[in-house]
Amino acid sequence: MDSERIHERECRFSDIVGEISKSMEMNHEFYDKYASKYDDMMKSMGFKIPGHLARLCMENLSDGSKANLAKLTALDVASGTGLAAEALKEAGFCGVIDAIDASLQMNEVAKSKNIYRKMLCHMINVDNRMPFPDNTYGVVVACSALTPGHIEHDCLYDFLRVVKPGGIMIFNVSHLTTVDPDGECVQCAKCILEKMHDEGKCECVSETHTDMFKADMKYHKFKETVIHCFVKN
């Protein structure tokens, strides 16, 4: 495929990503509609976040967790087609991974990859928390879940709730200009995380600013992505 056709393909996929809206219902339809094409779209645009999350997760595991990786359990929140779980496996994570996502069609794609122990189709919001007991997982990872029209930032409390003390919560927040021109999403997450820290619930171990897609992507709508990694107290 020549460079011009590749660029046209990237622009088309970027236009599709631009369909993401502030409406959770519309985004649910979006992911069901494009589930079968999602991996190809992300690969074409050089989606970096799963790999970054996996690397930072493995780097920030406690010594005890690293020594017992096979016994470690992880939860992939807004798991989609399983890109974050695949990246974790490639980075050396050998424990079990569970998945929770609101899109049945995305779950079906992920199911075909045989990377999860169990999968749950569930819409997460502040009034509908995740159906898992407190202190269940050694790792909770959320790849591009905290975007307008997706999971609300206040749900970070629910993410942390299911992490075991000493475990890791790692996720990214992205500035999508089409639905969040002023970057309120990034700032809102920062305020909530500062509050959680002040309440003694967790400690920040890393904050990484990065691009969401490959450097030569000439047409996309994401200005900034911040990856946060916290350890639960």
Q: What is the CATH number of the domain that holds 130?
A: 3.40.50.150
Provide the pLDDT for residue 174: 75
Measured distance CA(155)–CA(161) in Å, rounded: 10
The crossing angle, in degrees rounded to 10, of helices 104-111 and 24-44 is 30
Provide the pLDDT for residue 10: 45
Low-confidence spans in the chain with pLDDT less than 50: 1-11, 13, 21, 218-219
DSSP secondary structure, 138-193, as one string: EEEEESS--STTSS-GGGHHHHHHTEEEEEEEEEEEEEETTT-TT-HHHHHHHHHH
Domain total of the chain: 1
Provide the pLDDT for residue 18: 53
pTM comes to 0.88
The sheet that has 119-121: what strands, in order across it? Answer: 119-121, 96-101, 73-77, 137-142, 163-176, 222-232, 202-210
The values of phi and psi at residue 214, to 5°, are -60, 155
Which residues span the domain enclosing 111?
Answer: 3-232
Q: What is the pLDDT of residues 18-56, one digit of tens each?
A: 555 455 666 677 788 889 989 988 888 888 999 999 999
Provide the pLDDT for residue 140: 98
